[in-house]
């Protein structure tokens, strides 16, 4: 049986394995720590942070769908300063990378958070560009190449940590968006964020979510996510972290073959607290079965049909 090396390097971030808990599904790690050994997870992208505490949207905020779920939580969180003062020290007990996911309604808010977090004991900042820009008619920052270039370049000036830009799939060309983020200074990309969706209560003739629409995640989005990672890998030179419907090691390997250097596990963590560990074990089993020694040996090794 061959020796497998699960370590990966994502823009200077050393991970013991390629599996990261995705933002919004793992809290601040504390919530899962009684059920999961956090030392076995490569990294944790913490719950999305805003400059000030945020209550989020009114309920209902979650709806189950076939092979997935819709959520419109609305980024409920205690704010970036609370995170620094109360959560980082807890996470530093464990040998897992800490990625701070940030969100805002103006570029100025993003820049201020990047400045604050650059002095904090974290490993990287993940830029959530799916938020509405209130100064530009509430169109999401990441919906156009111009918009994502603007926010990435501005945040880059204030960010002294590795900067991961999380791409929205709700665009015409994911490759154009990815290229714009890379050109504007992103160190890595993570994709995909949730797809915009809706569920309707036909008896009440109303949307199930109080916010009417929400983000679709879970196994239902995986084929779309794999395709987008495949397209982006052929466009950019910076590392890609793939996500979207990953529940098993085999799911993760699809993303690695398509071009991802690491993966994030999201919705599955809400169903199985140890999903990240199971996914990691599945990747290792695949590597042993096929004789791969390093995770990097899998990345982008998809053989297309001719």
Active site positions, annotated: 131
Please tell me the distance from the alpha carbon of residue 130 to that of residue 72, in angstroms, as a whole number: 13
Alpha helices in the chain (DSSP H): 80-86, 88-91, 107-118, 145-156, 174-183, 222-233, 249-258, 267-271, 275-290
Residues in the chain: 306
139 beta partners = 133
- As a whole number of Å, the end-to-end CA separation of the chain is 33
Q: How far apart are CA 81 and CA 299, in angstroms?
A: 37
Please report the sign of the dihedral spanned by the C-alpha atoms of residue 140, residue 145, residue 147, residue 148: positive
User: Whole-angstrom Cα distance, residue 264 to residue 190?
Assistant: 8
């Amino acid at each position: 049986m061959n020796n497998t090396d699960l370590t990966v390097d994502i823009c200077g971030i050393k991970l013991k394995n390629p599996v990261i808990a995705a933002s919004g599904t793992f809290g601040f790690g504390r919530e899962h720590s009684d059920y999961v050994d956090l030392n076995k997870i490569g990294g944790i992208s913490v719950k999305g942070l805003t400059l000030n505490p945020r209550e989020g949207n009114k309920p209902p905020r979650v709806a189950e769908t076939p092979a997935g779920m819709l959520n419109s939580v609305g980024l409920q969180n205690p704010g970036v300063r609370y995170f620094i003062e109360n959560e980082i020290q807890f996470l530093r007990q464990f040998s897992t990378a800490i990625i701070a996911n940030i969100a805002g309604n103006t570029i100025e808010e993003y820049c201020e958070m990047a400045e604050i977090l650059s002095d904090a004991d974290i490993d990287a900042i993940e830029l959530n560009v799916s938020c509405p820009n209130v100064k530009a008619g509430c169109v999401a920052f990441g919906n156009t190449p111009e918009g994502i270039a603007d926010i990435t370049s501005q945040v880059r000036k204030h960010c002294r940590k590795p900067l991961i830009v999380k791409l929205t799939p709700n665009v015409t060309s994911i490759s154009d968006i990815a290229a714009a983020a890379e050109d504007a200074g992103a160190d890595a990309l993570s994709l995909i964020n949730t797809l915009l969706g809706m569920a309707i209560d036909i008896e009440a003739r109303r949307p199930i979510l109080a916010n009417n629409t929400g983000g679709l995640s879970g196994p239902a989005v995986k084929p779309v996510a794999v395709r987008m990672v495949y397209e982006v890998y052929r466009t950019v030179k910076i590392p890609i972290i793939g996500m979207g419907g990953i529940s098993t090691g085999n799911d993760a390997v699809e993303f690695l073959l398509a071009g991802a250097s690491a993966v994030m596990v999201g919705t599955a963590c809400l169903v199985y607290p140890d999903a990240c560990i199971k996914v990691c074990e599945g990747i290792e089993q695949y590597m042993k079965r096929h004789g791969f020694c390093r995770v990097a040996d899998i990345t982008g090794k998809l053989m297309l049909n001719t």
